[in-house]
Chains A and B, each alone.
Chain A
Amino acid sequence: MITKQSLEYLFNPLIRVVPEKDWSKIKAIWIPLLHHDYKNTLEKSGEIIILQKTIDRFGTEQGYLTASNENYIPYLTTFFNPLFTQDEVLEKIVQAHDNILTIQSIITDATGEHIIRKTIIGVAKSGMMMTIVTNQDDKIIDAFPIFNHDKK
């Protein structure tokens, strides 16, 4: 069962820091797993920056996620439609999880007997595709929309 707690990262900017080995400086800061910014609140407050943003017909946003610090690493990622509430996002993830289009990858442990991670592509009722990642307990650890490059 998907809960907000289990997918908290999708909605909150968990910031990760990678320092140099001797801590002389920080070599990288990035914001992993953030995939929803309700009404662009984080962006409007300046907490995050999305560069070169584009929007598809599902309202999915794609752009380079970063923040106002030279050590942040921008990376190309996607966001659920900012007009969706968190509940709506979770509902669409459940829909996509129940409607799997394809299994993208299955990763096993060294013995090859136990699945430790699985990545699937599912589709919500609206037709929006998304990538869903599950762990060894088949629990969803990440979900993000696939940007649709078709014209609106």
Chain B
Amino acid sequence: MNEQQKKILHANPTEIQKADCVDSVNQIKNNETAYDFLPKISGSKGGGDRDTLKKSELGPLASTDPGVFAENVGQDKISSHSVETPKQDVHVIVTKNKTTNRYNICQPMTYDFYLLYLLCTETLTTTSTDSKKNSGIEFYKNSSIPCLVTPQLFINKNKGYIELFSIYDLTNNSDDLCLPKSPKFIMTAKNFMNFMVQKAQLHQQQPDQFFLVIDSQGHAHLTTDLQSLVKVSFFTSLQKKLASLFTRPAK
């Protein structure tokens, strides 16, 4: 073990804490009712401007049954208070390379997509190293697992949100032991669970091509059929409109 490693292991926490390591947790502490961690869509480095999601609007966790994904999409209610709100879904195409037997993204992409691409292609492992439990779902359910690592991705559980980091951003930052403020992608717990269910589905199907989507609300999806997301969005908005007819206060 060299001096640098020893320094890291035996660093005085108080000294390091003095460094600029204030992050999203402190933001939560400062504001118990508003969560401003949702990722900006296109052109953002995760951690930029955020929409605001009220705590009471998070709703229960999505079912782990792959069949119920479509019902869950779009159920998160996000009120738009940010300056720049994405208006439409954005996606990248993920294609299987037959020579390497790996999934690639041919077109250039932003950092948000990169982190999500790693999440959907890299093998997640828990501390148990039990291959049957190696999934993000196990990670989320087990409160004793605070983070996951892959060769290129660091996944951190933070107050019910899931933060994705590239390990290269963490290793470069050798003087600061805290997680960087950015770039990162932050997912709601519900969105993370849905994403993992979709990943499991795709792992079984092994399609030649699928789509990695960040929808207009900042939620990530994996699908082989972009139209399915559009249909769900339509029915969800119709459902909301109908519901609003019955919830208007009487004049």
Residues of A at the B interface (CB closer than 8 Å) are 9, 12-19, 21, 23, 27-28, 30, 32-33, 47, 51-52, 64, 73-78, 101-112, 115-117, 121, 129, 133, 135, 141-142, 144, 146
Contact = CB atoms under 8 A, between A and B. Distances in A.
Given A15-B5, A74-B125, A112-B43, A142 B168 contact: yes
Name A's interface SS: strand
B129 A74 contact: yes
Interface stretch (B69-77, B103-111, B215-223): B103-111
B97 A14 contact: no
A86 B125 CA distance: 28
Interface stretch (B56-64, B146-154, B191-199, B226-234): B146-154
B101 to A, nearest CB: 9
Contacts of B127: 73-74
Interface of B: 1-2, 4-5, 8-9, 11, 13-14, 17, 23, 25-26, 43-45, 97, 99-100, 102, 104-111, 113-114, 117, 123, 125, 127, 129, 134, 146-152, 154, 156, 166-168, 170-171, 174, 177-179
Contacts of A19: 13, 177-178
Contacts of A146: 100, 102
A15 B8 contact: yes
A19 B138 CA distance: 22
A115 B13 CA distance: 36
Contact of A75 (B2, B23, B99, B151): B151
A101 B168 contact: no
B34 to A, nearest CB: 19
